[in-house]
């Protein structure tokens, strides 16, 4: 991103209006859907997590009218689940053909195509739900933020809600002083469960199946040959915590470890784990991010890393340090937990008067003292019910795009520190990194094959 381009983007964001809902007739049949009408939905990227999430959407009340995927085989189970839905290969054809027949769009594609699909749907004035992370680069997240402010439609990101029972209870206890002032938050994940640590893209290639549009799958990423599976003896299959995607090189599922296509373990699970701390302490941007990780090659994210974020004090809260762990790394188990071990995924809050693991106060005496803290925070129905309510003109979804951009950039900034091996001091207004030009160069990355933002 050159200087003039960055300044244009900044100016557009500063002048952007707040998200509002306007009559359905004004926006061509999208925002402000009447509570008495069905909300019609199109799913794009439906073969992986899209399958259960579209079923959740149907259960919430959406009427699935159209489906789109670049891989007929991978998408078959979802096509079979929604036999009435009209089918497409190219999301651009879906948006052009469906017009006012759909109110909302779900995006469940790999990370590198989130922005182009989400932006196209927003510009068509559709409600949009995107799987996390919302974007692969910071430039993309700011473009999406500008577009949603212009569209005024209802949005949602599929990260673990901060409106669940355990999340709300955690907030109520901490706000009541259960462990004093929070000074540190440790969050971790058992990812990667796909190959990471690759030194380069494979040197072999395979014929593209007739059922897969490889060019559409690549989208704006650098053009490269299709490779189907790693050899059975490939060391990459043994290096991660697990290998849920089998031997596939890129598609399906194993795109996540590649820097061209995914955002690594931090991108996959960081939005889930950081969502509650961001909401609880109204976090926005850290002053400094540092990383420690296994060896990093440009092609792929490392096998494991620790990333430390330092946040400034606010009017309500003191300085907070948040530490991310993946690749099997976890914080030390507190002595008070005895022989217990931490599970693969978790959040540990460290305060001036104790610690909490999720909503569990680790000191039994303090736990007893705070067991009758009243429930004062609204619990909600989950990702899809929240989005459905918002699409019908109700309360905005808790992880709407406006809220989710800083959480998305939490993972993206962490990856800048991991990829460059240097501290990152990010200015969220000018979109610059004052101490790390290599990281600044990654804020905006080239689009290929004729694609643009």
Question: Which pLDDT does position 37 carry in this prediction?
Answer: 80
pTM for this entry: 0.92
Question: Which pLDDT does position 35 carry in this prediction?
Answer: 57
Residue 288, strand partner residues:
310
Structure tokens at 320: 């907070």
Q: Which stretches of the chain drop beneath a pLDDT of 70? A: 1-36
| Residue 413 CB-half CA count within 13 A | 27
For the chain, the average pLDDT equals 93
DSSP 30: -
33 belongs to a structural domain: yes
DSSP 446: -
253 belongs to a structural domain: no
64 belongs to a structural domain: yes
Question: Which pLDDT does position 149 carry in this prediction?
Answer: 98
Question: Which pLDDT does position 241 carry in this prediction?
Answer: 87
Question: Which pLDDT does position 36 carry in this prediction?
Answer: 55
Sheet order of strands, 182-188 included? 288-293, 305-311, 320-325, 182-188, 346-351, 354-357, 360-361
Look-up of token digits 């159209």 = 66
Structural domain including 106 reads 3-159+383-399
Question: Which pLDDT does position 381 carry in this prediction?
Answer: 95
30 belongs to a structural domain: yes
Number of structural domains the chain divides into: 1
**What is the C-alpha end-to-end distance of the chain, expressed in Å?**
12
Question: Which pLDDT does position 347 carry in this prediction?
Answer: 98
Question: Which pLDDT does position 244 carry in this prediction?
Answer: 95
Look-up of token digits 């950039």 = 409
CATH code of 91's domain: 3.40.50.720
Distance CA 46, CA 315 (A): 44
């Amino acid at each position: 991103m050159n200087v003039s381009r960055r300044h244009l983007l900044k100016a557009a964001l500063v002048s952007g209006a707040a998200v509002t809902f306007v009559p359905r007739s004004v926006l061509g049949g999208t925002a402000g859907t009447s509570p008495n009408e069905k909300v019609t939905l199109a799913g794009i990227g439906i073969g992986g997590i899209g399958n259960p999430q579209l079923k959740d959407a149907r259960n919430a009340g959406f009427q699935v009218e159209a489906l789109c995927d670049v891989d007929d085989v991978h998408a078959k189970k979802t096509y079979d689940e929604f036999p009435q839905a009209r089918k497409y290969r190219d999301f651009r054809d879906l948006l052009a053909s469906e017009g006012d027949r759909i109110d909302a769009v779900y995006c469940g594609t790999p990370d590198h195509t989130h922005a182009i699909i989400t932006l196209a749907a927003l510009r068509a004035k559709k409600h949009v739900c995107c799987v996390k992370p919302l974007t692969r680069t910071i430039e993309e997240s700011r473009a999406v933020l500008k577009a949603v402010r212009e569209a005024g439609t209802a949005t949602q990101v599929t990260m673990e809600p901060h409106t669940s029972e355990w999340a709300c209870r955690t907030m109520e206890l901490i706000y009541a002083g259960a462990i004093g002032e929070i000074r540190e938050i440790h969050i971790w994940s058992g990812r990667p469960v796909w190959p990471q640590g690759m030194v380069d893209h494979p040197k072999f290639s395979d014929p593209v199946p007739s059922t897969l549009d490889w060019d559409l799958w690549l989208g704006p990423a650098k053009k490269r040959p299709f490779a189907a599976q790693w050899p059975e003896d490939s060391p990459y299959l043994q290096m991660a915590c697990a290998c849920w995607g089998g031997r596939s090189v890129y598609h399906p599922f194993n795109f996540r470890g590649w820097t061209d296509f995914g955002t690594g373990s931090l991108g996959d699970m960081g939005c889930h784990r950081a969502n509650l701390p961001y909401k609880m302490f109204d976090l926005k941007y850290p002053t400094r991010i540092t990383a420690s990780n296994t060896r990093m090659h440009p092609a792929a994210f490392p096998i494991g890393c620790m990333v430390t974020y330092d946040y400034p004090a606010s009017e309500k809260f003191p300085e907070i340090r948040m530490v991310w762990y993946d690749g099997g790394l976890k914080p030390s188990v507190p002595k008070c937990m005895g022989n217990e071990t931490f599970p693969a995924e978790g959040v540990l809050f460290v305060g001036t008067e104790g610690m909490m693991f999720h909503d569990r106060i680790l000191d039994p005496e303090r736990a007893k003292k705070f067991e009758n803290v009243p429930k004062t925070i609204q619990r909600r129905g989950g990702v899809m019910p929240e989005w459905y309510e918002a699409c019908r003109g109700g309360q905005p979804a808790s992880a709407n795009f406006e809220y989710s951009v800083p959480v998305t950039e939490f993972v993206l900034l962490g990856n800048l520190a991991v990829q460059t091996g240097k501290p990152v001091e990010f200015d969220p207004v000018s979109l610059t990194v004052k101490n790390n030009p290599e990281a600044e160069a990654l804020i905006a990355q080239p689009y290929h094959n004729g694609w643009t933002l």
